[in-house]
Amino acid sequence: MNTIKRHLWGKWVFLIIGIGIWAACTSDEQTIPIEVVQRQDNPLNYKKVDSLIAMIQSGDLVFRTGADMTSYMLRQLNLHEKMYSHCGIAIVENGQVYVYHSIGGEDNPDEKLRKEPAQVWFSPVNNLGGGVARLLVQRLNHDSLATLLHAWHSSGKKFDMKFDLSTDDRLYCSEMVYKAFNKILQDTTWLKPVNMFGYSIMPIDHLYRHKLAKFICRVEYK
């Protein structure tokens, strides 16, 4: 009988010790919560945006990496660096940086060329990162470039869903950048399109890999 009691008592002691260890490991004082900070909620990302914008001058080429599947597919059209899915031209107006860009799809149902504050354009909400490049061309007239982009924006020039580089009535994003500089530089040979899948196109990375282009800054959001 004593043997049975000792056996049962040993089980109870073991059970009590086990419960105590479990309680200690799961108590509020011992548990360290793991917080996953979303990209759009991370204040460091907005500091990166501010730092990026602070470096921008009128006429700079701006790039961003969209976070959706369409952006991923567009990145694959780049020849060398599958980094950016969209591009535009930055213009400083009254101390505020704006981005002129051509975009279609759900983000822009009317397909008209857009003008947005740089803070909105680079926003971490829908993007994974961004960058700024500059053309080192002395004959680049920034005022003329701003006038041209303003005219295109006012006329409601639309996005080219056919990605047809041979027409000028509609422009896709890298085509808009390319042809804007063609007009201001009065030179259509400074950057040559590439042939891909039987089409003449202007890949986004083709713009900043040019020998006259210099990257100013790149950021990736966390």
Given a cut of 60, is residue 21 above it in pLDDT? no
Nearest to 184 by CA among 59, 100, 57, 56: 59
Claim to verify: residue 66 and residue 164 sit in the same structural domain: yes
Claim to verify: residue 21 and residue 60 sit in the same structural domain: no
Given a cut of 60, is residue 12 above it in pLDDT? no
Collect all residues with Cβ–Cβ distance below 8 Å to 174 and sequence separation of at least 6. 87, 202, 203, 204, 206, 207
- Joined together, the tokens standing for residue 207 give 């713009």
pLDDT mean over 154-168:
95
Q: Give the separation between CA 65 and CA 201, rounded to whole angstroms.
A: 19
CA angle 67/209/137 to nearest 5° reads 120
Claim to verify: residue 82 and residue 29 sit in the same structural domain: no
Q: What's the pLDDT at 77?
A: 92
Structural domain including 139 reads 40-220
φ, ψ dihedrals at 218, nearest 5°: -130, 145
Q: Which pLDDT band, with edges at 50, 70 and 90, does 37 fall under? A: low
Claim to verify: residue 211 and residue 183 sit in the same structural domain: yes
What is the DSSP secondary-structure string of 127-177?
A: EEEEEEEEE--TT--HHHHHHHHHHHHHHTPBP-TT--TT-SSB--HHHHH
**What's the CATH number where 151 sits?**
3.90.1720.10
Claim to verify: residue 50 and residue 126 sit in the same structural domain: yes
Q: What's the pLDDT at 107?
A: 79
By the 10 Å C-beta count (0-12 exposed, 13-18 middle, 19+ buried), 24 is classed as exposed
Claim to verify: residue 63 and residue 140 sit in the same structural domain: yes
Q: Give the separation between CA 171 and CA 33, rounded to whole angstroms.
A: 49
Given a cut of 50, is residue 20 above it in pLDDT? no
CB contact at 8 A, 174 and 207: yes
Claim to verify: residue 69 and residue 133 sit in the same structural domain: yes
Q: What is the pLDDT of residues 139-160, one digit of tens each?
A: 889 999 999 999 999 999 999 9
Given a cut of 50, is residue 221 above it in pLDDT? yes
Q: What's the pLDDT at 217?
A: 95
Given a cut of 80, is residue 31 above it in pLDDT? no
CB contact at 8 A, 138 and 169: no
Q: Give the separation between CA 67 and CA 82, rounded to whole angstroms.
A: 13
Claim to verify: residue 2 and residue 65 sit in the same structural domain: no
Q: Give the separation between CA 93 and CA 64, rounded to whole angstroms.
A: 21
User: How many other C-beta atoms can be found within 10 angstroms of the C-beta atom of residue 201?
Assistant: 18
Claim to verify: residue 138 and residue 184 sit in the same structural domain: yes
Claim to verify: residue 56 and residue 141 sit in the same structural domain: yes
Claim to verify: residue 175 and residue 102 sit in the same structural domain: yes
Q: What's the pLDDT at 101?
A: 98
- Joined together, the tokens standing for residue 81 give 């660096």
Number of domains present in the structure of the chain: 2
Claim to verify: residue 65 and residue 79 sit in the same structural domain: yes
Q: What is the pLDDT of residues 74-129, one digit of tens each?
A: 999 999 999 999 999 999 999 999 999 999 988 789 999 999 999 999 999 999 99
Handedness of CA 109, 114, 120, 125 (dihedral sign): positive
